[in-house]
Amino acid sequence: MAVLTVQNLCYGYAKGTPFEKAVLHDVCCTFGEGEIVAVIGHTGSGKSTLLQHLNGLLKPDSGDVLLDGESIYRSKAALRECRFRVGMCFQYPEQQLFESTVRDDIAFGPKNQKLAADEIDRRVKESLAYVGLRESYADKSPFDLSGGEKRRVAIAGVLAMEPEVLILDEPSAGLDPAGKKALLKLITDYHAQTGSTVIFVSHDMDDVAEIADRVLVLSKGRAVMSGTTREVFARADELLEMGLGLPEATSVMLRLRHEGLDVPTDVFTAEEAAAALLAFARKGAGV
């Protein structure tokens, strides 16, 4: 069952000005309940614009967005409900952080949801721990943090709302390798514990390969591909053509194949690549 359905969505910025620009063209896609979906696409392909429609921050010029089968734009109340159910973390944390302490920033969403004070407190602590920040960060100003620390606070703020649909716009950008790994685990844990749907944008194909069930590819404002992660990465040539890439492990296998070794190329992570190469070696050595 689809949680979110995007129907024939068209959107342009700066309407009625010389800069008017059609950005999304007749985009149709669905996000199923409990799926982890990666949205990928070249710079300026329309990923952030599409995401901002999924919780009603932008309104389409034509077309619609349905949450559980009903338009999120049908009434003010529906839009408000959508904002609580669909939590969104922006591409630049600076777009999101504004309170004077990290604690207040994370508490902002839960407060709006009119939760009890002790519940808010619990969520703030839990979210900070989730994103790997010590509790001593709660009293700091979000503006006095390093880039990656800001990113973590922004993610914590969305998690604290415990949304049914978690939307993250390039959540791993600027995180150190351990932070990245922890983020991917956090996403899969949150997904497993709550059954939530997760939609995230990434330029890192290794992240996509690691956790996505399905991939949606945008190019020049159109949804040009959608399928399981395996299906999408199998279309390597088309992805490269669009300015995208492949998981590093897949690149290694393709190069070997190019050299004439008969190794599998539907391999996406370092572990899978090592296993496939070992299997190849043992077979070759007649073991």
Partner 1 sequence: MKNEVLRFDNVTFCYDTERPEHTAVRDLSFSLYEGEFTCILGHNGSGKSTVAKLCNALLLPTSGTVTAYGLDTAVEANENEIRRNVGMVFQNPDNQLVATIVEDDVAFGPENLGLPREEIAARVDEALRLVGMTEFRKHEPHRLSGGQKQRVAIAGALAMQTRCLVLDEPTAMLDPQGRQEVMEALFKLKRELGITVVLVTHFMSEAVAADRVLVMNDGKLCMDGTPREVFAHSEELSAIGLAVPKPLEIARTLRQNGIPIDDVLTADELAQAFYNAFT
Ligand X SMILES: Nc1ncnc2c1ncn2[C@@H]1O[C@H](COP(=O)(O)OP(=O)(O)OP(=O)(O)O)[C@@H](O)[C@H]1O
CB of 75 to ligand X, least distance (A): 26
| C-beta closer to ligand X: residue 14 or 28 | 14
Residue 43 found at the interface with partner 1 (CB under 8 A):
yes
* Residue 84 found at the interface with partner 1 (CB under 8 A): no
Q: Residue ranges of the alpha helices (H) in 86-225?
A: 102-112, 117-130, 147-159, 177-194, 205-211
Counting contacts by CB under 8 A, is residue 271 touching partner 1?
Answer: yes
Taking CB under 6 A as the rule, which mask of x and - marks residues 144-163 in contact with ligand X?
A: xxxxxx--------------
Residue 137 or 273 having the CB closest to ligand X: 137
Calpha distance 6→39 (Å, rounded): 14
> Which residue, 123, 129, 128, is CA-closest to 142?
128
Q: Which residue, 202 or 250, has its beta carbon nearer to Mg ion?
A: 202
Helical pair 147-159 and 117-130, crossing angle rounded to 10 deg = 140
R_g (Cα) of the chain, nearest Å = 20
Residue 22 neighbours by CB distance under 10 Å: 13
The secondary structure of residue 240, as a DSSP letter, is H
What string marks each residue from 102 to 141 as x (binds ligand X by CB under 6 A) or -?
Answer: ----------------------------------------
Q: Is 170 exposed, middle or buried (0-12, 13-18, 19+ CB in 10 A)?
A: buried
Rule CB under 8 A: which residues touch partner 1? Answer: 13-14, 19, 41-44, 48, 91-92, 94, 144-149, 151-152, 169-170, 173-181, 203, 205-206, 240, 243-245, 248-249, 251-252, 255-256, 259, 261, 270-271, 273-274, 277-278, 280-281, 284
Rule CB under 5 A: which residues touch Mg ion? Answer: 47-48, 91, 146-147
